[in-house]
Chains A and B, each alone.
Chain A
Amino acid sequence: MNHKSLKMMGSLTLISTISAFLLQMVVLYTQPIIAKNQALYLKQAIYEILPNTASVQGYRLQEGRFIRSDLPNPSVFAALDAQKKTLAFLFQWQGQGYQELMKILVAYDPVSKKLQGIKVLESKETPGLGERILTDQAFLAQFQGLAMPFNQERQELRHPLQLALRGKPKQPGRIDGITGATISSKAVLRIVNQGARYYFPLLQKTGGGK
């Protein structure tokens, strides 16, 4: 090995070491703040869907049912009111939006078998068009109190969410989409359906067990 390649390796190693040192310092300092921000963001979203929430309890999946857990990053949250009564369970599900992945927080009450609301946590829909799934109150309000029963025998949603057809009487599970945001509206329904198929049977076991 000659002198030149030694020098090349030496300089790259030196720079990598400096980089690694700088990055380590920054990560050490910012990691706890980022984790706190993320937890705060999720909690704010929960309060937005269920304004009567007084506290939030994390749940973790164990042997096919959810048990209370105070560890960080639980898989499901329960929103409790001031009397410690469970208002709804909240879970997150991710799926394909118009161009990029979309992540939705869904609130569901397994006792009344009704959705309590949804909030899109992460999305990159077209500004001004598909983006309206984040802000269109008429669209979002339809998810509040929408009956969404799960058929335990057939392991399928009784009325999977679908866009309502124009000029037809409204049937269960039908949602009016947003004009100019049809693909994004459909994506929201699809993601909520997928999440519901996974979480509803588990949550009904958990909610009914008490």
Chain B
Amino acid sequence: MEKEAPSLDLILKGLWKENPVFVQLLGMCPLLAVSNSVKNALSMGLATTFVLVFSAALVSLLKRLIPKEVRMGCYILIIASFVTIAEYVMQAISLEIHRSLGAFTSLIVVNCIILGQAESFSSKHKLLPSVAHALGRGAGFSLAILCMGIIREVVGKGSFFEIPLFGEQYQAWTLLILPSGGFFVLALLLMLYETFSKESG
């Protein structure tokens, strides 16, 4: 039991207390760009979590073999491999999702959450804590992008997962699914997060 407790704690930390999006404001590019529908947000969250967990595992396993001078190159190489794998798998599952995410699937490579994970955690910790930490941060990112996706699609398009929610008369607030809407929703979520974490802390 003693061994498992820190792992669970690591996961929960990434999900809420040290949420990479709400606290550290990392990974803003995919967060703002592909959160215009629940489907896109969910696929991006899952793909990022996949890359995060597997790259963290490999970095942690190979940490003794990676010299300090070329560590960035090594991390990027590992991350890019898993991003390409994620891209192929996504295409095999659904071409439609791959099309709607566009270039942002490949751009997972430059997501700071992943490189930050490799540099500041996985390169110093063992396999299990590394994976737990990565899982928590992946879940934290997914939570944030999913919140954005739900708000933006429900209000901006009047649907959830492409299922229309309101009647024909609903006047969709299109602004929210446009790029600028992403900033408004992000601001709203950050405000809510601040309020909630102050109250609970």
List residues of chain A with CB under 8 Å of any chain B CB.
4, 7-8, 11-12, 14-16, 18-19, 22-23, 26-27, 30-31, 33-34, 37-38, 41, 100, 122, 124, 126-129
- Please name all residues of chain B whose beta carbon is closer than 8 Å to the beta carbon of A15 when the two chains form the complex: 62, 66, 74, 77-78
Check if A8 sits within 8 Å of B88, measured CB to CB. no
Check if A127 sits within 8 Å of B178, measured CB to CB. yes
Check if A23 sits within 8 Å of B84, measured CB to CB. yes
Contacting A at CB under 8 A, from B157-187, are: 157, 172, 174, 177-178
Which of B58, B65, B84, B95 makes the CB contact (< 8 A) with A37? B95
A11 and B99 in contact (CB under 8 A), knowing A26-B89, A34-B88, A128-B156?
Answer: no
Check if B78 sits within 8 Å of A12, measured CB to CB. no
- Please name all residues of chain A whose beta carbon is closer than 8 Å to the beta carbon of B91 when the two chains form the complex: 30, 34, 37
Tell me whether B81 is interfacial, beta carbon within 8 Å: yes
A7→B66 CA distance, assembly (Å): 8
Chain A residue with Cβ nearest B73: A12
A33 and B65 in contact (CB under 8 A), knowing A16-B77, A19-B77?
Answer: no
- Please name all residues of chain A whose beta carbon is closer than 8 Å to the beta carbon of B191 when the two chains form the complex: none
A127 and B99 in contact (CB under 8 A), knowing A22-B81, A34-B91?
Answer: no
A183: min CB distance to chain B, Å? 15
- Please name all residues of chain B whose beta carbon is closer than 8 Å to the beta carbon of A100 when the two chains form the complex: 102
Check if B92 sits within 8 Å of A37, measured CB to CB. yes
A11 and B85 in contact (CB under 8 A), knowing A41-B95, A122-B99, A129-B174?
Answer: no
B102: min CB distance to chain A, Å? 6
Tell me whether B199 is interfacial, beta carbon within 8 Å: no
Mask for B107-125, Cβ within 8 A of A = 1, else 0?
0000000000000000000
Check if A33 sits within 8 Å of B70, measured CB to CB. no
CB-defined A-B contacts under 8 Å, sample of 15: A11-B66, A12-B70, A12-B74, A15-B66, A15-B74, A19-B81, A23-B81, A26-B88, A26-B89, A31-B88, A33-B92, A100-B102, A122-B99, A128-B157, A128-B178
Check if B67 sits within 8 Å of A4, measured CB to CB. yes
Check if A30 sits within 8 Å of B69, measured CB to CB. no
- Please name all residues of chain B whose beta carbon is closer than 8 Å to the beta carbon of A41 when the two chains form the complex: 95-96
- Please name all residues of chain B whose beta carbon is closer than 8 Å to the beta carbon of A18 when the two chains form the complex: 58, 81
- Please name all residues of chain B whose beta carbon is closer than 8 Å to the beta carbon of A124 when the two chains form the complex: 102
Check if B172 sits within 8 Å of A128, measured CB to CB. yes
A4→B36 CA distance, assembly (Å): 48
- Please name all residues of chain A whose beta carbon is closer than 8 Å to the beta carbon of B65 when the two chains form the complex: 11, 14
A137: min CB distance to chain B, Å? 15
Check if B99 sits within 8 Å of A23, measured CB to CB. no
- Please name all residues of chain B whose beta carbon is closer than 8 Å to the beta carbon of A7 when the two chains form the complex: 67
A170→B145 CA distance, assembly (Å): 47
A76→B122 CA distance, assembly (Å): 51
A88→B37 CA distance, assembly (Å): 36
Check if A126 sits within 8 Å of B78, measured CB to CB. no
A1: min CB distance to chain B, Å? 14
A165→B89 CA distance, assembly (Å): 47
A26 and B85 in contact (CB under 8 A), knowing A128-B172, A128-B178?
Answer: yes
Chain B residue with Cβ nearest A123: B99
- Please name all residues of chain B whose beta carbon is closer than 8 Å to the beta carbon of A12 when the two chains form the complex: 70, 73-74, 77
* Beyond A8-B70, A34-B95, A100-B102, 11 additional pairs, beta carbon < 8 A: A8-B67, A11-B62, A11-B74, A22-B81, A22-B85, A27-B88, A30-B91, A31-B88, A127-B174, A127-B177, A128-B178
